[in-house]
A and B are shown apart, each in its own frame.
Chain A
Amino acid sequence: MQYDPKNLDQYFAESLNGFRQKPPDGTWQRLEADLLAARRHRRLILYRWTAAAAMLLIALAAAFYFTTITPDHQPGDQPLSQVQAPATCQPPIPAAPENDILQNITQESTPTIPSPSTGQTAEMITRTTGQSDVPSVPVPTGEPEIAETLVTDEIQKEVTPSEDAEIDAAQPSPGDNHVPDIPEPEQKNILTKPLTDFTFQDQPEVIKTNSRWSIGGSFAPVYAYRSIRIDAEELPPDVNPDINYYNSSEEPVYSYSGGVDVAVNMSDKWQFRTGLYLSSLGHSNQEVTAYEAEGVKDLLKVSSSTGVIRITTSKLPEDFVDNSVRRDSITDAVYINSSIRQSFTYLELPLLVRYALLDRRFGLNLTGGFSPGIMTNYQAQFTYEGERIDLDNESDFYSMILNSQVGLGINYKITGSLTLSLDPAFKYSLNSIRKDHSIEYHPYSISVFTGIRYSF
């Protein structure tokens, strides 16, 4: 075509029509690598969640191990508690032994001072320390320093006989009129025992009640998504949906779950729970690409793993259409710069069994069971400038859902009847919620329930 400046547009358009050029070598290889990377990225997300769950389990298991297993002991290096009182929570030591001890104390600087076997020496130091707090006892100059030193020495368990003699020398003699205010033996043990000698048996015993029933309430932030599977046998012959499209254009959502329940203890370890919970599940569609419905004005359709979502453009705010909707006049595709959030709300009746791995003030438990529910609401919505725009879905959904549920929780008993709990839980729907089985849609969720429970 001859160049004519008056027909510049036409000249360029016709000249460029059909223009082609070979792309540089390696373009396909780069593209192929990125296509594979995109697939790997989707898998990686799954692996990350699995790893996070595994780490959580390991952390909880480690916490369980270190809080229940006592430290290793060397032969002859028994914990103080075992030397003084083999059984925990023994009744207070009778007065008579105390008097004997005091008598021993008065036998200061004698060669009969017990050899520094750890238990006995530490016991004597303990009593010395206890007495130093009594203001009425005449205290030789420098005694507080001695007492502090002794406490430190006790922790190190390296007290020499001469030091013991020095300690005993600082004690008032029985001839004094003072009645030493010696703490109760058990109390002294707790106050002065080296930290490394603490065991679970040393902790104050949990107030155990004979409560068989309890009620509670809990609330959880929820990470919700779905797994989908295309059932080729259910598809019409000319339909070939791409599962990768749904997985790349849809994303998880954050929602909530909460409710109340009642529990009955079947034994010390086993508990059954049921209640009523409201849970919101779903996903969101990103990069919305819609198509005009054939023969229907102002109706757009979006393909989603839940089914076809209908958008009536005349119902959309004009601002939204002007700013977020762009129509391609050649391919008929409509690109919408917004995301569609789809939410399924269920009223659930959990039927759970809980097993106590650790039943103390801090408890650790495993939970498993089923959580059937009834769908109370479905919503597909755009959000534009804080306003929610409702959309329709052409699909039919089952009103019932059957979730399986597992969890590993911890709880803390504030009192004998009040308990705080933290229960991470994973729920997976055993049934597809779509009535049209061409795409199996199974919602799942990860929740971290925080709750309080009252036993009666």
Chain B
Amino acid sequence: MDERTLEEIINGCKAGNVKDQERLFNLYSETMFGVCLYYSRDTSEAEDLLHDGFLKIFQHIHTFRYQGSFEGWMRRIMVNTSLERFRKERHLYSLSDVENTLEDVMEENIIGQISTKDLVKLIQDLSPRYRMVFNLYAVEGYSHKEISRMMGITEGTSKSNLARARAILQRNVKHFFLTDSKTIK
């Protein structure tokens, strides 16, 4: 087991020490990959996000001033990386990615559990914009005003996208519980 403290590892990364960079990667890669997974459509895209995010982390680690959680700081970078990718690629998304037809939203409570992996898959199945708005609002806790600035959309669009994302998720959760198989394909 590596006996170096986190602070020593961070300082090593600031000095460009490759061994410390690898230690840091091994410490946080699983957690950060978890974040990347629900910001992307599949494992391959999540891997790319993780790669780009860690590159940024190593390039900007000197700006970390030990104020607040280091893991939180890394997580922000991962989220920002996915946001940048979204902004770059949003012109590639077809309208059909956004205009999902919605069924009636289930109102009654469902008693049951879904594994976290299945929840991640449900989020991944959302269109890129819905996925981004839902994650930023529901998971990260940003306001619609912040989201509109980060994504380059209006607050109204942000609210509308969130409502649609919720409706799609509710529909898919309902579908999940109604099917025999607990595995979402």
Q: List 10 A-B contacts (CB under 8 A).
A: A8-B170, A16-B38, A21-B117, A27-B47, A34-B55, A240-B14, A240-B62, A289-B63, A328-B80, A332-B67
Which size bracket describes the interface of A in this complex?
A: 35 or more
Assess whether A13 is in contact with B138, with CB atoms less than 8 Å apart: yes
Assess whether A330 is in contact with B76, with CB atoms less than 8 Å apart: yes
> Whole-angstrom distance between the alpha carbons of A24 and B29 in the complex?
10
> Whole-angstrom distance between the alpha carbons of A23 and B18 in the complex?
19
Q: Choose one: A31, A242, A326; the contact of B25 (CB below 8 Å).
A: A31
> Whole-angstrom distance between the alpha carbons of A10 and B80 in the complex?
22
Q: A9-B138, A16-B38 are in contact. Are A22 and B33 (CB under 8 A)?
A: yes
With both beta carbons as reference points, the residue of chain A lying nearest to B33 in the complex is identified as A23
> Whole-angstrom distance between the alpha carbons of A35 and B16 in the complex?
10
Per DSSP, are chain B's interface residues mostly helix, strand or loop, or mixed? Answer: helix
Told that A32-B21, A240-B11 touch, could you supply 6 new A-B pairs with CB distance under 8 A?
A2-B109, A2-B112, A5-B173, A12-B139, A18-B34, A24-B43
Assess whether B22 is in contact with A28, with CB atoms less than 8 Å apart: yes
Q: In the complex, what residues of A have CB within 8 A of residue B51's CB?
A: 27, 30-31, 34
Assess whether A248 is in contact with B137, with CB atoms less than 8 Å apart: no
- The verdict on A245 contacting chain B, using a C-beta distance below 8 Å, is yes
Assess whether B65 is in contact with A330, with CB atoms less than 8 Å apart: no
Q: A13-B139, A242-B14 are in contact. Are A289 and B30 (CB under 8 A)?
A: no
Assess whether A331 is in contact with B50, with CB atoms less than 8 Å apart: no
Q: How many A-B residue pairs have CB under 8 A?
A: 145
- The verdict on B15 contacting chain A, using a C-beta distance below 8 Å, is yes
- The verdict on B58 contacting chain A, using a C-beta distance below 8 Å, is yes
B148 to chain A, nearest CB (A): 11
Q: A3-B173, A31-B51 are in contact. Are A326 and B149 (CB under 8 A)?
A: yes
With both beta carbons as reference points, the residue of chain B lying nearest to A24 in the complex is identified as B47
- Chain B, residues 62-77, CB within 8 Å of chain A (1/0): the string is 1101011000110010
- The verdict on B154 contacting chain A, using a C-beta distance below 8 Å, is no
Q: In the complex, what residues of A have CB within 8 A of residue B2's CB?
A: none
Assess whether B30 is in contact with A333, with CB atoms less than 8 Å apart: no
Q: Choose one: A23, A244, A289; the contact of B16 (CB below 8 Å).
A: A244
> Whole-angstrom distance between the alpha carbons of A20 and B166 in the complex?
23
- The verdict on A177 contacting chain B, using a C-beta distance below 8 Å, is no
> Whole-angstrom distance between the alpha carbons of A30 and B167 in the complex?
39
Docked complex: B136-151 residues within 8 A CB-CB of A: 137-139, 141-142, 146, 149-150
Q: In the complex, what residues of A have CB within 8 A of residue B25's CB?
A: 28, 31
Assess whether B150 is in contact with A19, with CB atoms less than 8 Å apart: no
Q: Choose one: A18, A20, A245, A329; the contact of B62 (CB below 8 Å).
A: A245
A293 to chain B, nearest CB (A): 12
Docked complex: B1-41 residues within 8 A CB-CB of A: 11, 14-16, 18, 21-22, 25-26, 29-31, 33-35, 37-38
Q: In the complex, what residues of B have CB within 8 A of residue A255's CB?
A: none
Q: In the complex, what residues of B have CB within 8 A of residue A30's CB?
A: 51
> Whole-angstrom distance between the alpha carbons of A38 and B166 in the complex?
41
- The verdict on A15 contacting chain B, using a C-beta distance below 8 Å, is yes
- The verdict on A241 contacting chain B, using a C-beta distance below 8 Å, is yes
Q: A23-B30, A35-B18 are in contact. Are A333 and B38 (CB under 8 A)?
A: no
Q: In the complex, what residues of B have CB within 8 A of residue A242's CB?
A: 14-16, 61-62
Q: Choose one: A16, A35, A335; the contact of B119 (CB below 8 Å).
A: A16
Q: In the complex, what residues of B have CB within 8 A of residue A333's CB?
A: 63, 76
A395 to chain B, nearest CB (A): 17
> Whole-angstrom distance between the alpha carbons of A413 and B72 in the complex?
68
With both beta carbons as reference points, the residue of chain A lying nearest to B26 in the complex is identified as A28
> Whole-angstrom distance between the alpha carbons of A19 and B120 in the complex?
9
> Whole-angstrom distance between the alpha carbons of A22 and B30 in the complex?
5
Q: In the complex, what residues of A have CB within 8 A of residue B63's CB?
A: 245, 289, 291, 303, 333
